[in-house]
Amino acid sequence: MNLTKRQKEIIDAALQLTADGGIQNLTIKHVSGALGITEPALYRHFKNKAEIVKVMIVNFEELADAAITDREADGLCGIETFVKSRFTLVAGNPPLAKVMFSEELFMDDEECSALLLDMMHRHRGSLRRMFLNARKAGEIRGDIEVDMLFRLVLGPVRLLIKQWGMSKQAFDLVKEGNRLWNALCKTLKENNPVSGFEQSTWKGNRHEKKSD
Amino acid sequence: MNLTKRQKEIIDAALQLTADGGIQNLTIKHVSGALGITEPALYRHFKNKAEIVKVMIVNFEELADAAITDREADGLCGIETFVKSRFTLVAGNPPLAKVMFSEELFMDDEECSALLLDMMHRHRGSLRRMFLNARKAGEIRGDIEVDMLFRLVLGPVRLLIKQWGMSKQAFDLVKEGNRLWNALCKTLKENNPVSGFEQSTWKGNRHEKKSD
Amino acid sequence: MNLTKRQKEIIDAALQLTADGGIQNLTIKHVSGALGITEPALYRHFKNKAEIVKVMIVNFEELADAAITDREADGLCGIETFVKSRFTLVAGNPPLAKVMFSEELFMDDEECSALLLDMMHRHRGSLRRMFLNARKAGEIRGDIEVDMLFRLVLGPVRLLIKQWGMSKQAFDLVKEGNRLWNALCKTLKENNPVSGFEQSTWKGNRHEKKSD
Amino acid sequence: MNLTKRQKEIIDAALQLTADGGIQNLTIKHVSGALGITEPALYRHFKNKAEIVKVMIVNFEELADAAITDREADGLCGIETFVKSRFTLVAGNPPLAKVMFSEELFMDDEECSALLLDMMHRHRGSLRRMFLNARKAGEIRGDIEVDMLFRLVLGPVRLLIKQWGMSKQAFDLVKEGNRLWNALCKTLKENNPVSGFEQSTWKGNRHEKKSD
DNA sequence: TATGAATGAGTTTTCATTCAT
DNA sequence: CATGAATGAAAACTCATTCAT
């Protein structure tokens, strides 16, 4: 995805417009207006509107990927890296908060929703792996299946980002994200009845069912 | 909100259309087409399109409220009632899955997003109360603040419903919702073995097999 | 093809516009302008522009068919009826002169050129039959194959109509059409060496090759 | 008309595009695309689009003229030369079949239709002369006036070329053109047995089999 | 209640063309 | 010779809405 300067400007404007007023607000007229050029000028840079939306979506992913600093991290640490990278990414590009997890916005275009689904699945895939490893490693409680763990973590992350976006960035997303992560850790850590002592005992990955 | 039969039909069609193809798909032409009447005929039943959308949104709430079986429940039980009512509600009206928690769909209209925000806040308010009471009663761990508890519970609930909608209702939402609730309970229940006199009960719970 | 009054007006305007300035001149704006209504108003009467063009073409055929008064005529007489009906038809609706035999005008639309081809083939089919019968009956010389006869007759007919259209109707098409028919008869009648005497002898259809 | 190599390429591309999809298909974008250059580059070679179309039309004539092998020929022979040159010309440059005799394609431009009319008149002029001479020389029957003779000959020639173009060159145009010419001769030759001293020669001609 | 006919504003896109480089 | 970037005009079409019937 090598974008020219103009193309990047267009994508940025499109993102901002969508964040401000939904896809209804993402019109060629508005985008070109935001750049101070005429509508036909846009067509020098993108084949059509669909192309703009598509690049916009693909860009999410690249931004997201780029935001993960430690790509080697796995297990609980990998999940933490992933989750926190979400917060810093969105905090640094607020319009993303309104658009990033709003698949329904692009529902009308077959190709786009396919793109988004694909992106989601890919993310889910690598997260599943991390959850599995974290559970095996005893970093995460063994009594909850991986698909549920995914929901327990990503659900709150998405909701926090949405709340931030809808509140017009009323709070510090990164800080609140850290708080959320701490809370998540409390709930997901192996439920040590002896309160953290002799952690090693729990390493074996107990009672796990392979249904997930 | 006393709707005539025709008005209900219109709202239903509008909901379905929005679920199918986003608000871009919610046009007067499509709605009237779905009912087999002409466009001007719609204006006999609603002042304008915005009115339709607004009633649609208000309807969410009424449906949601109506879905709560035990209005007296408070504390953990109240939360459970609320959460599970979400699942049964959506399961009984699948288009809601694509629309109900997709505030961004209606973002472009000032009034609508205000309506939605209000609705969200009201829900959050009564849930906060329940969380507070549940924490006081020792039903929920005390080491997580209420706003976080809200996210930890509602985030996964929303995500599960969204997944169900996007998967084209591929799984049994109510069953999976129960599983989610069980997982949530595990993570939220007071886990201090010293203070939790009922700890033994939970231990058994941990080894549960496919009870969900 | 049951057209409303408005639809008929639209088709007439479209025909006139096309005759005046080619299909480049057949725009929704021009058509609606010709009727004194706005562009969107057209879409109440036709699904889209292609539909207008299609109906226009289908209309040619119906007009043409309607113009043939004696549908029972066959042989030379049938051909004469057909040819002369072309002249009276076009004379009564001058824009047809510029459009009727200009298949290339509608070349850009797959469906339309298919429609036109179909129409042409149908006409050619019934004319072939007439030529065959005329030749069998000795009304037409036997030394020219039917496909050639078709060209020898229809070619000049089309050219005359085109000349009339391009000359801005400078001459009396029907009169000139009659002259053309007479000339055609002279060239196509059985080449009687004894100058018309004992016509009956020629009835046998001589030297005919069945290669056509 | 001295065209540079690039100009010739442009004209050829324009001709092909017009043949393929009508003038609607003849756009600066398509032409430049066909040559693999950008749109503004075209304006190095032609002042504007109208210029391209005009040169295209003038080119028809030059091609047509160049196709006439025996410029001295007059009378029936001259006509034959002219007619057959049409067939060889078009056969050697198939797109011409769709464009050459389709004046209506260029009807929307004043200047172009004037050019075309002029060209047509010039051709008609020289052909009239030949017809007159042929008639005087007794090569052509005397009972049909020259303007009619013109239509009787040129009409079928045009129609055959059009049929060839519309059939996607399904048959051998030159061969079929010869057949047409033979048929035309049969119909146009003086057929009065008393006045035609060479009548016997023609009689043999009448029974010809597949000599074409 | 409903419809047929219409409309003004706006949609995406294409057109031929220009201009600085 | 050619391009990249742009433009004014116009294309086809959709939008929500109105109004007379």
Does the CB of A6 fall within 7 Å of any strand F atom? yes
Question: Residue C32 pLDDT more than 80?
Answer: yes
**Contact residues, chain A, for B145 at CB < 8 Å:** 183
- State the Cα–Cα distance between residues D156 and D141, nearest whole angstrom: 18
Q: Identify the pLDDT of residue D72.
A: 83
Highest mean pLDDT among A190-204, B103-117, D72-86, D110-124 belongs to D72-86
How close are the terminal C-alpha atoms of chain C, in Å?
A: 35
Closest nucleotide (C1' vs CA) to B36 is E2
Of the listed ranges A91-95, B17-21, C111-115, the one predicted with least confidence? C111-115
**Contact residues, chain A, for B105 at CB < 8 Å:** 22, 104-105
Q: Identify the pLDDT of residue B192.
A: 56
| Backbone conformation region of residue A188, classed left if phi is above 0, alpha if psi is from -120 to 50, else beta | alpha
Residue C199 makes CB contacts below 8 A (sequence gap 6+) with: C138, C190, C192
Structural Rg of chain D based on CA atoms: 20
With contact defined as beta carbons under 8 Å apart, do C179 and D148 qualify? yes
pLDDT tens digits, residue range B189-212?
Answer: 876 554 444 444 444 444 444 444
- What stretches of chain B show up as alpha helix (H) in DSSP? 5-21, 28-35, 39-42, 49-67, 75-92, 95-99, 110-136, 146-166, 173-188, 199-206
**How far is Cα of residue B139 from the mean position of the Cα atoms in its chain?**
23
C206 → chain D, closest CA residue: D207
Asked whether the beta carbons of residue A108 and residue B183 sit closer than 8 angstroms, the reply is no
pLDDT tens digits, residue range D102-140?
Answer: 888 887 777 888 888 888 888 888 899 999 999 999 999
Residue A135 token pair:
């559970």
Question: Residue A131 pLDDT more than 90?
Answer: yes
Q: Identify the pLDDT of residue A72.
A: 81
Question: Residue A188 pLDDT more than 60?
Answer: yes
Integer distance in angstroms from CA C55 to C1' F12? 18
Q: CA-based angle C133:C138:C141, to the nearest 5? A: 100
Which of these, B85, B41, B47, lies nearest to B63 by C-alpha position?
Answer: B85
Which window residues (4-63, chain C) lie with Cβ within 7 Å of strand F? 26-30, 39-40, 43, 48-50
SS3 B135: helix
Of the listed ranges A12-21, A28-37, C190-199, the one predicted with least confidence? C190-199
Q: Identify the pLDDT of residue C209.
A: 45
Please report, for residues B191, C37, C49, C138, D194, the alpha-carbon distance to residue B201 in angstroms, rounded to integers and kept in the order given. Answer: 12, 79, 73, 111, 128
Does the CB of B24 fall within 7 Å of any strand E atom? no
Q: pLDDT band for position C193 (50/70/90)?
A: low
Integer distance in angstroms from CA C12 to C1' E4? 21
For B12-17, what is the mean pLDDT?
96
Closest nucleotide (C1' vs CA) to B37 is E2
Question: Residue A84 pLDDT more than 80?
Answer: yes
Asked whether the beta carbons of residue C23 and residue D25 sit closer than 8 angstroms, the reply is no
Please report, for residues A144, C171, C174, D144, the alpha-carbon distance to residue C91 in angstroms, rounded to integers and kept in the order given. Answer: 87, 10, 7, 24
SS3 C65: helix
Q: What percent of chain A has pLDDT over 90?
A: 66
Does the CB of D201 fall within 7 Å of any strand E atom? no
CA trace torsion C96, C98, C102, C107 (10° rounding)? -100
Q: pLDDT band for position C8 (50/70/90)?
A: very high
Residue C44 token pair:
């109440």
Residue with more model confidence, C113 or D153: D153
Question: Residue A197 pLDDT more than 60?
Answer: no
Residue C86 token pair:
């072309």
Q: pLDDT band for position B149 (50/70/90)?
A: very high
Integer distance in angstroms from CA C6 to C1' E6? 13
- State the Cα–Cα distance between residues D52 and B30, nearest whole angstrom: 46
- State the Cα–Cα distance between residues C1 and C62, nearest whole angstrom: 9
Does the CB of B21 fall within 7 Å of any strand F atom? no
Q: Identify the pLDDT of residue A154.
A: 96
Question: Residue A19 pLDDT more than 60?
Answer: yes
Q: What is the mean pLDDT of chain A?
A: 88
Integer distance in angstroms from CA D29 to C1' E14? 10
Asked whether the beta carbons of residue B151 and residue A166 sit closer than 8 angstroms, the reply is no
Does the CB of B29 fall within 7 Å of any strand F atom? yes
Residue B133 makes CB contacts below 8 A (sequence gap 6+) with: B74, B75, B78
Residue C89 token pair:
């038809």
pLDDT tens digits, residue range D66-102?
Answer: 888 888 889 999 999 999 999 999 999 999 999 988 8
Does the CB of A3 fall within 7 Å of any strand F atom? no
**How far is Cα of residue C79 from the mean position of the Cα atoms in its chain?**
12
- Neighbors of chain A by Cβ distance (3+ pairs < 8 Å): B
D149 → chain C, closest CA residue: C183
Please report, for residues A159, B75, D34, D37, the alpha-carbon distance to residue B85 in angstroms, rounded to integers and kept in the order given. Answer: 19, 15, 63, 64
For C37-56, what is the mean pLDDT?
96
pTM across the whole model: 0.86
Which of these, C42, A99, D12, C17, lies nearest to B102 by C-alpha position?
Answer: A99
